[in-house]
């Protein structure tokens, strides 16, 4: 690869794209809402939330010094992350805590990149993160899920026009920000029916002696705060323009 090609690649990756029109930001937010609140599309889209959820567990385990042994993703949109280490203590607490807040926090990071118009960089970071996660996947459905997701993101980042990249990136970030909230309500609903006795919140309660409902509240507060911050990053710059118009 020539120096000029490397320079072009660097500029494409780290260069800022033009500001998208407010209509695109609005339409992508509405599209993400539709995917989240329509049962059929949520059943498919929730796989992305699961990937982010289990990725959060995995990253937290590594950062706290636990030994990550594997990740499984299932067709019912459930997942499992296995790590070795002390069954109690800060490392295990942080690892359990990370799952339900990961989609929203990843969405917030994405919103920050989009606020700086780093659309291509966001897409490439996503591909890199998926490839890193792929190494630890331990079941066929999980491998296929990661490969398909990564291929779609890479295809958009490499072949699509800037307008399409922007629409794709904004939809994805809105989906993580808004979609990260819904599983918390699903979690509490299933807990109230006794269908998730070993949920992350219940495991946190077991090792911290703090009631599970407290941890459900923590998940919700963090995710709502991330949504509010993401909203300001993605749409805040358009408020003066909307007011003047």
Residues linked to residue 84 through DSSP beta bridges, in sequence order: 67
Reduce the secondary structure of 2-39 to three states and give it as a string: CHHHHHHHHHHHHCCCCCCCHHHHHHHHHHHHHHHHCH
Q: Does any domain span residue 56?
A: yes
Percent of the chain's residues with pLDDT above 70: 91
Rounded to 10 degrees, what is the CA torsion of 100, 130, 114, 173? -40
DSSP for 138-171, please give it: -SHHHHHHHHHHHHHHHHHHHHS-HHHHHHHHHH
Number of domains in the chain: 1
Q: Could you give phi then psi for residue 132, rounded to 5 degrees?
A: -65, -40
Q: Does any domain span residue 147?
A: yes
- Nearest CA among 85, 117, 47, 101 for reference residue 218: 101
According to DSSP, residue 66 is labeled -
Q: Does any domain span residue 141?
A: yes
Q: Does any domain span residue 126?
A: yes
What is the pLDDT at residue 231? 96
What is the pLDDT at residue 17? 74
What is the pLDDT at residue 19? 84
Tell me the pLDDT of the chain averaged across its residues.
92
Q: Does any domain span residue 244?
A: no
Q: Integer distance in angstroms from the first to the last C-alpha of the chain?
A: 49
* Domain span at 207: 20-237
Total residues belonging to the chain: 245
Identify which has the larger pLDDT, 215 or 245: 215
Q: Does any domain span residue 193?
A: yes
Cα–Cα distance, 162 to 170 (Å, whole number): 12
What is the average pLDDT across 187-196? 91
- Count of Cβ atoms closer than 10 Å to residue 130 Cβ: 20
pLDDT tens profile 149-182 = 999 999 999 999 999 999 999 999 999 999 999 9
Confidence of residue 1 (pLDDT cuts 50, 70, 90): very low
pLDDT at 9 over 70: no
Q: How far is CA 184 from CA 131, 194, 207, 214, 224, in A?
A: 27, 15, 20, 12, 11
Q: Does any domain span residue 14?
A: no
Confidence of residue 7 (pLDDT cuts 50, 70, 90): low
Confidence of residue 196 (pLDDT cuts 50, 70, 90): confident
pLDDT tens profile 208-228 = 999 999 999 999 999 999 999
- Nearest CA among 121, 120, 234 for reference residue 176: 234
Identify which has the larger pLDDT, 197 or 190: 190
Confidence of residue 240 (pLDDT cuts 50, 70, 90): low
pLDDT tens profile 112-143 = 999 999 999 999 999 999 999 999 999 999 99
Least confident of 5-9, 129-133, 162-166, 191-195: 5-9
Q: Does any domain span residue 11?
A: no
């Amino acid at each position: 690869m020539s120096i000029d090609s490397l320079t072009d690649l660097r500029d494409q990756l780290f260069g800022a794209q033009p500001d998208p029109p407010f209509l695109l930001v609005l339409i992508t937010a509405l599209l993400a809402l539709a995917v989240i609140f329509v049962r059929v599309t949520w059943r498919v889209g929730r796989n992305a939330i699961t990937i982010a959820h289990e990725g959060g567990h995995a990253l937290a385990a590594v950062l706290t010094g636990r030994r990550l042994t594997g990740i499984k993703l299932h067709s019912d949109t459930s997942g499992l992350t296995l790590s070795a280490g002390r069954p109690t203590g800060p490392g295990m607490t942080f690892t359990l805590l990370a799952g339900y807040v990961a989609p929203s926090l990843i969405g917030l990071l994405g919103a920050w990149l989009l606020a700086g118009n780093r659309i291509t960089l966001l897409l490439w970071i996503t591909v890199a993160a998926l490839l890193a996660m792929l190494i630890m996947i331990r079941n066929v459905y999980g491998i296929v899920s990661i490969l398909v997701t990564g291929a779609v993101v890479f295809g958009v980042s490499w072949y699509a026009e800037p307008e399409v990249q922007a629409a794709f990136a904004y939809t994805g970030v809105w989906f993580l920000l808004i979609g990260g909230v819904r599983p918390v309500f699903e979690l509490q609903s299933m807990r109230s029916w006794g269908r998730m006795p070993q949920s992350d919140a219940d495991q946190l309660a077991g090792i911290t002696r703090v009631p599970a409902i407290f941890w459900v509240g923590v998940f919700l507060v963090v995710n709502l705060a991330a949504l509010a911050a993401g909203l300001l990053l993605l749409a805040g710059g358009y408020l003066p323009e909307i007011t003047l118009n």
